[in-house]
Amino acid sequence: MLRDLGVPEEQIKIESFASPSRAKTTEAAAPSDQRNGAVDHAADKAAGSLRFARSERLITDLGGKTILEIAEQQGIPLPYDCRAGICGQCKTKLVSGMVTMDAEDALEPIDRANGVILACQARCRDDVVVDA
Ligand code: FES
């Protein structure tokens, strides 16, 4: 609304607040893993593995943790702030594989189209590779 009124971008400040609720879980797939632009909602699969491509690290014991939690355990620095899916500081490129996210308020449609996920929310559904 402020943009529509002509307020300069540098004068627009956004403040978000998080609650710990987990009302829904959504899925995301890397663009190369999407079929006809749709995310595969097939039956749940056990989590597979997580590879941090730039850090050259492969994790096979995921323990139901988020990608951010696993990165922290492995000493791989990923930015974060809210840990609730709101701020977007933890946006990470999903190179391949599928994840589920309990919240994804910080993702814009262009993020979803480009396979960007929120590391603080994303849990692996299969063999996942992220650009981190
Ligand atoms: S740390 Fe805020 S959205 Fe992930």
pLDDT tens string 80-94: 999 999 999 999 999
pLDDT in tens, 59-118: 999 999 999 999 999 999 999 999 999 999 999 999 999 999 999 999 999 999 999 999
**What is the dotted CATH code of the domain comprising 24-130?**
3.10.20.30
pTM of the model: 0.74
Residues 24 and 36: their CA atoms lie apart, in Å, by 24
Q: Does 31 have pLDDT greater than 90?
A: no
What is the atom index within ligand 1 of the atom nearest the CA of 82? 2
106 CA: nearest ligand 1 atom? 3
For ligand 1, which residues put their CB under 6 angstroms from it? Answer: 80-83, 85-90, 106, 118, 120
Q: How far is the CA of 117 from the centre of ligand 1 (A)?
A: 10
